[in-house]
Each structure stands twice: as C-alpha cells, then as structure tokens.
C-alpha cells in the first residue's frame, strides 16, 4: 500500500532543480549579459521625469522620438522596461544646514519613516547574429530531421558578433535616449 504523502514528495522531488540550471544568464561581460540561448542583453537605469507635470504635446513628442529610436533596432531585439518599487527610510534633501520652514517640517514629519521609492530600468536583448538571418534548409539537415535525430546547435556560435552588435547599438540607443531630454540614463 502506498501513501499519498510519499507520492506528493516524489512529485515535488521530480520538479526540483538547481537554480544555476534554471537561471537564464550564462555569463556577464563588460556590462552585458550573455544568456544561455546566445542572446546578449544590455541594461540601463532610467531617471524618469515627473510625468504629472507634462503637457499632452510633451507626451506626444517623447512617444514619437522614442519610437524613432526603437525603429533602428534590428529584428529580433526585445525591449523591456521594468519598474521596481521598494521601501526605504526617508532621507532629507541635503540642505541640513539651514532648511526652510516647509522643508524643515517635511524632514521632521518623515524622519525615520519608510517611504516608497521607485527605480526604472530599460533592458535591451539582442538575438544571436546567426538567428537574424533566415535559415535555408539543405539536403543533409532534411535527411537528419527525417531520421529523427537533430544536429545539436551551438547557441554561442555567433556570440562575438552579437556582443559587437550589442555594444554598437546600445551606444547609439543610449545617445538617442539622452537626446530626448526626457530621461537620463546610466548604462
């Protein structure tokens, strides 16, 4: 007779894996991440403006300029903006010597209280150089696929070209974002 608890433990053990086996990053090199599938990623810290103070035309100008900057990216590029919110004890604005009345009251009110802070990140991930080009089937690969055996593909075959492409395009994108005047970035 088998017990249900033992079966549940066996199923949990079958789903267990080491974090290193599941983590998508393979290596880090010069502010770039090389992923296990051969992609190369670059991250930027964004210092976003106070959006509530913008007018409608400022939103439209940013949208069109950002769209123009993103159009130059190669096919297969993934762009992701991530916002991180966290609590941190309040820190005064730095004018400790002689704060004004309202600043002094604000510092006294928020002293040692947790305040919600925000960091914005922009990640750009580039496809491997060999995946950007269409793959043409040949007779050998068709025969191997029909036999049920696939040739193992090296995901790092074009990683040197992808690293060079990522460096060049990330620099251009950084200049474009800084030129927008809306965001300041730290690459």
Q: Residue 67 phi/psi, 5° resolution? A: -60, -40
Which residue, 131, 111, 118, is CA-closest to 35? 131
Tell me which DSSP letter residue 35 carries. Answer: E
Q: What is the pLDDT of residues 72-119, one digit of tens each?
A: 899 889 999 999 999 988 877 665 566 788 888 888 888 888 988 889
Q: What's the burial of 92, exposed, middle or buried (CB within 10 Å: 0-12/13-18/19+)?
A: middle
Determine the Cα–Cα distance for residues 18 and 31; give it in Å rounded to an integer: 25
Which of the four pLDDT bands, split at 50, 70 and 90, describes residue 52? confident
In this prediction, residue 152 has a pLDDT band, given cuts at 50, 70 and 90, of low
Q: What is the dihedral of CA 136, 138, 142, 143, to 10 degrees?
A: -170
- Which of 73-87, 117-131, 141-155, 160-174 shows the lowest mean pLDDT across its residues? 141-155
Taking the model in full, what pTM does it have? 0.65
């Amino acid at each position: 007779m088998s017990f249900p608890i033992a079966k549940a433990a066996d199923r949990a053990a079958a789903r267990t894996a080491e974090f290193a086996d599941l983590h998508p990053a393979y290596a880090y090199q010069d502010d770039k991440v090389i992923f296990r599938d051969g992609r190369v990623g670059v991250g930027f810290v964004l210092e976003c403006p106070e959006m509530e103070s913008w007018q409608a035309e400022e939103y439209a100008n940013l949208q069109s300029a950002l769209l123009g900057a993103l159009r130059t990216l190669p096919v297969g590029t993934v762009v992701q903006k991530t916002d991180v919110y966290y609590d941190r004890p309040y820190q005064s604005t730095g004018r400790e010597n002689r704060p004004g009345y309202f600043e002094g009251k604000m510092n006294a009110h928020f002293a040692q209280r947790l305040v919600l802070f925000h960091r914005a990140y922009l990640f750009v991930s580039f496809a491997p150089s060999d995946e950007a080009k269409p793959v043409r089937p040949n007779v050998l690969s068709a025969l191997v696929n029909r036999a049920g055996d696939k040739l193992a593909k090296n995901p790092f075959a074009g990683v040197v070209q992808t690293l060079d492409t990522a460096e060049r395009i990330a620099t251009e994108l950084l200049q474009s974002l800084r030129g927008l005047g809306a965001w300041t970035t730290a690459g």
